[in-house]
Amino acid sequence: MGRPVTLFTGQWADLTLEALAEKVSEWGFDGLELACWGDHFEVDKALSDDSYVQSRHDILEKYGLRCWAISNHLVGQCVADDPIDGRHQQILPARIWGDGSPEGVRQRAAEEMKHTARAAKLMGVEVVAGFTGSSVWKNLYFFPPTSQADVDAGYQDFADRWLPILDVFQQEGIKFGLEVHPTEIAYDIITSQRTLAALGHHPAFGFNFDPSHFVHQFVDPVKFIDAFGDRIWHVHVKDSKVESMDGTRSILSSHLDFGDHRRGWNFVSPGRGDVNWDELIRALNRVGYEGPLSIEWEDTVMARDFGAPEALDFIRSIDFPASDVIFDAAFASDK
């Protein structure tokens, strides 16, 4: 048997949890990674209503599903982001946005992430996946030049904001997995090393590994697994395809929407892009990852009700457990 395969509900928040659970059960998924938006998993209700968490379990059990992780990307993004503006208002509950004062948003988001750890414990999961935000991402390609002292200050700001949150995660016995991703404080191998160092390698902090965010940066996802195998708390199954660099496309994507054929790259259904899934599964086996493979389905030119079950069949077909046999030992004499 391979690892359990779940569906991340973030891109399905227009559906109720019950409607989505019924779908994925029919498709054959093992469970759901519940997003903390839509009606899938609401942190405030989990902490204020004794029956709420049980209601989530009741729906999952009704359809033969399990939950290994919850995710709070949207609120997490606002803890350390700069600037905070109208884009964030579109993704936040009104109680977190408040009057929109940037520092007030950051502080309320930080408290909500602490509450997320407490809600995860009530739910009986051990991992929260999400984003952190970053005050230095805006300086990625910069003029006038940004000094390393300015970047260091950004990592210090990140640590100052996230260490108190991570302390709560540790107290509750929950791990936070940052999805390494452009726009985050960690977006490749070097910035992930820098992030861990800024946090003093906090024991509650690790990664939600998603290979789709590496391939269009020309970073090898397998090298990330090899570098951080003991910090990979959770895995997303998502794919990305770099288009032909024909002299008209930019890897920066030219401010074009996802799915536009003129972009330099696009997210595609798993198995249809540039991720080498065989190498990736072998690397996960090598580092001993035994958690779920959670499909984050995102392909803007494919119908999701076609793509999600296709992705499930694909990942099941290529996942395999690690060998427990040393084959050459079979040739040794037993004399």
| Residue 251 domain-assigned (yes or no) | yes
What is the C-alpha to C-alpha distance for residues 195 and 315, in angstroms, rounded to an integer? Answer: 30
- Whether residue 330 lies inside any domain: the answer is no
Contacts of 112 (CB under 8 A, 6+ apart): 43, 72, 75, 96
> Which among 186, 182, 181 has a CA at the least distance from the CA of 154?
186
State which residues form the domain around 273: 5-318
CB crowding 192-210: b at 16 or more within 10 Å, else e: bebbbebbeebebbbbbbb
Closest CA to 125 of 73, 66, 167: 66
* pLDDT at position 325: 76
Model pLDDT for residues 229-268, shown as the tens digit of each residue: 999 999 999 999 998 888 999 889 899 999 999 999 999 9
Lowest-confidence region among 95-99, 248-252, 291-295: 248-252
107 versus 326: which is more confidently predicted?
A: 107
* pLDDT for position 324: 82
Beta strand 205-209 with 5-8 is unpaired
What is residue 141's DSSP assignment? S
- Residue 323: its pLDDT value, please? 86
Which residues fall within 8 angstroms of residue 302, CB to CB, at 6 or more apart?
268, 269
Mean pLDDT score across all residues of the chain? 95
**Cα–chain-centroid distance for residue 128?**
9
Establish if 185 belongs to a structural domain: yes
Q: 324 lies in a domain?
A: no
Structure tokens at 119: 């809600």
- Whether residue 328 is contained in a domain is answered as no
Position 325 in a domain:
no
Q: Is residue 66 part of a domain?
A: yes
Round to whole Å and give the CA distance between 60 and 79.
30
8 A C-beta contact, residue 134 and residue 140:
no
| Residue 137 located in a structural domain | yes
Q: Hey, which residues does 240 pair with through a beta bridge?
A: 267
pLDDT of residue 330: 58
How does residue 331 score in pLDDT terms, banded at 50, 70 and 90? low
Number of domains in the chain: 1
Q: Would the pLDDT of 1 be above 80?
A: no
Contact 271, 295 (CB under 8 A): no
What CATH number corresponds to the domain at position 84? 3.20.20.150
Q: Would you state the pLDDT for residue 326?
A: 66
- Evaluate if residue 120 carries a pLDDT over 90: yes
Tally of CB atoms within 10 A around 1 = 6
